[in-house]
Structure formats: structure tokens, C-alpha cells
């Protein structure tokens, strides 16, 4: 069988004439249909008009958007209607897609927590894979296991050291309702710190923890504050900066 070989750039020419990428067409003064880099003033005006319409939100807001605005008026309109809400949502979106969990395991649930970060469940898909070894760098603490009365003050301290905004997941039966270890040695996590999401199970499967984290993500996206300080009567637990 004969193989027909062709040069890769068939039309390549030392002078650049006839090349596919850039076409210079000086015969077209309006620039319509032009692919190249020739700058044309009338084309710019068309683009400017298009972007102005876009800023007014002609497509987003529908026909109710006033079409006759210009200058400061238009700027204020845009500032009020579009930018602020979008910024909040963008921040919430960013936060909710980049939790930095604290690398912190208490008992057998921690095995499932590791597996959640492992290749099968792979929370790196959602951007939560950066387990931090310091509470100063973390914004999510997963209480994976039972909390003893000796460990509780330490966990509370870790939680207080985390920077705002911060969230907490209580994983497994033990640190929600103390499960099978309901005795003198344990304390449920709700007694000493605010919990955003409880994941039941003994221990929960990695899918369960994943479900809990995604619930938390939804919560953060819907309402960045989530009002937990009110729910838990936790006003005054914000970290106070020195000199403030």
C-alpha cells in the first residue's frame, strides 16, 4: 500500500503569503468579516455599543432595563444592580469550592476520612484535598471519631484558632450522640462547639462524609454566614485581633 505524504503546512510560503492564520485584507474598509489584526475605528464603535448593551444587562434583565442611560447614571445603575450581588456569590462560590480541612482524626472514623481523600472518592474533584496541618490555615474541621472529655478542650482550642469563616462537621455517631461509647469518658461535640453538619453512621462510609461535605458546600453557597452564631448562642466567640 502506498502512503501518500504531504507537507504539514501545504500552503506555507517564505513570504507569509497565502498562510491560513492571518489574513490581511486591505480592500475591506469596514472590517466586516475580517479575521486579522487590522484595527478599524468603525468596528470598535460597534463593539463598544455591544458591550454597553451587555453592561445594561439587556439580556439578563430583559426589556425593563432603561435603554437611554449613559455615563454616571449607567455606572450607578450597573453598580447597584449587578456587581455587588455577584461579588458575594463569587466569594461564596470560591469559598465553597476550596475548603481547607484540618488534618485531624480522632478514631476509627478517621480511616473513612482518609479514604474520602483517597483515589476512589477523591474529594480533590471538589477542591477539598488540601488538608492543612495547622488550624491557622484551615477553615473546616471534621471531627472524625469520639471526643473524650480530655480531648474536648483541645478541640475547642483548635476550633478557636481557625480563621473566620470556619465550618465544622461532626462525623459519625460518637461525636454527635456518643453512639456505642455513651459513657463517662465522652462528650458530644455539640456541647462545646458549633457544628454545621452532622454525618450519621458508625462509621459513615466515605460516600456519607462526601455527602455531608457537599451539603456544607451547598449551605455555604446559599448563605455564607449561615447564622450559626445565632443558632448556637455563640456571639462573642469571634477571634479578637491584638490591638483591636
Partner 1 sequence: MPDATGLELLAKELRDSEGLGPESILATLHFRGHATLEVQPRHIRAVLAQLRERGYRSMMSVHGVDYYPHEPRLGVHYELLDMSKVDRVTVTVRVPTEAPELDSVTPDGEDGKGWPTADHQEREVYDMFGVAFRGHPDMRRILMPEDYEGHPQRRDFPVGGEPVIFTYNEHESSGVTR
Task: By CB under 8 A, tell whether 232 contacts partner 1.
Answer: yes
Would you give the distance in Å from CA 227 to the centre of its chain? 19
- Closest approach of Cβ 108 to partner 1, in Å? 19
Exactly one of 20, 48, 79, 231 binds partner 1 (CB under 8 A); which one?
Answer: 231
Which parts of 153-192 interact with partner 1 (CB under 8 A)?
177-178, 182-188, 190-191
The nearer residue to partner 1, 14 or 236, going by C-beta atoms, is 236
The mark string for 113-152 relative to partner 1 (x by CB under 8 A, - otherwise) is ------------------------------------xx--
Establish if 19 lies at the interface with partner 1 (CB under 8 A): no
- Are 242 and 202 in contact by the 8 Å Cβ rule? The answer is no
Is the CB of 138 or the CB of 174 nearer to partner 1?
A: 174
- List, as one string, the DSSP characters of 67-85: SS--HHHHHHHHIIIIIHH
**Residues whose CB is less than 8 angstroms from the CB of residue 113 and which lie 6 or more positions away in sequence, other chains included:** 105, 142, 144, 171, 209
List the one residue out of 122, 129, 98, 145 whose CA is nearest residue 207: 122
Which residues, in sequence order, are bridge partners of residue 141? Answer: 168
Q: How far is the CB of 179 from partner 1 (least distance, A)?
A: 9
Q: Which residues contact 81 (CB under 8 A, 6 or more apart)?
A: 57, 61
Binding site for partner 1 (CB under 8 A): 149-150, 177-178, 182-188, 190-191, 231-233
Amino acid at each position: 500500500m502506498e502512503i501518500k505524504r504531504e507537507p504539514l503546512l501545504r500552503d506555507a510560503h517564505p513570504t507569509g503569503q497565502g498562510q491560513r492564520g492571518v489574513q490581511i485584507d486591505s480592500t475591506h474598509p469596514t472590517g466586516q468579516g475580517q479575521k486579522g489584526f487590522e484595527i478599524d475605528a468603525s468596528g470598535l464603535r460597534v463593539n463598544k455599543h455591544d458591550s454597553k448593551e451587555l453592561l445594561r444587562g439587556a439580556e439578563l434583565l430583559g426589556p425593563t432595563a432603561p435603554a437611554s442611560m449613559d455615563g454616571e447614571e449607567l455606572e450607578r445603575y450597573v453598580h447597584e444592580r449587578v456587581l455587588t450581588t455577584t461579588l458575594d456569590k463569587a466569594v461564596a462560590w470560591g469559598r465553597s469550592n476550596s475548603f481547607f480541612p484540618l488534618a485531624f482524626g480522632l478514631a476509627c472514623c478517621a480511616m473513612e476520612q482518609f479514604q474520602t481523600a483517597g483515589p476512589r472518592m477523591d474529594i480533590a474533584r471538589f477542591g477539598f484535598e488540601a488538608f492543612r496541618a495547622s488550624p491557622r490555615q484551615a477553615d473546616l474541621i471534621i471531627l472524625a471519631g469520639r471526643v473524650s472529655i480530655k480531648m474536648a478542650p483541645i478541640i475547642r482550642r483548635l476550633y478557636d484558632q481557625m480563621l473566620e469563616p470556619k465550618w465544622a462537621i461532626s462525623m459519625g455517631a460518637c461525636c454527635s450522640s456518643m453512639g456505642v461509647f455513651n459513657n463517662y469518658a465522652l462528650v458530644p461535640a455539640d456541647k462545646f462547639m458549633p457544628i454545621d453538619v452532622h454525618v450519621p453512621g458508625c462509621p459513615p462510609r466515605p460516600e456519607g462524609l462526601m455527602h455531608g461535605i457537599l451539603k456544607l458546600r451547598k449551605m455555604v453557597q446559599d448563605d455564607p454566614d449561615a447564622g450559626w452564631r445565632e443558632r448556637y448562642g455563640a456571639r462573642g466567640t469571634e477571634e479578637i485581633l491584638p490591638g483591636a
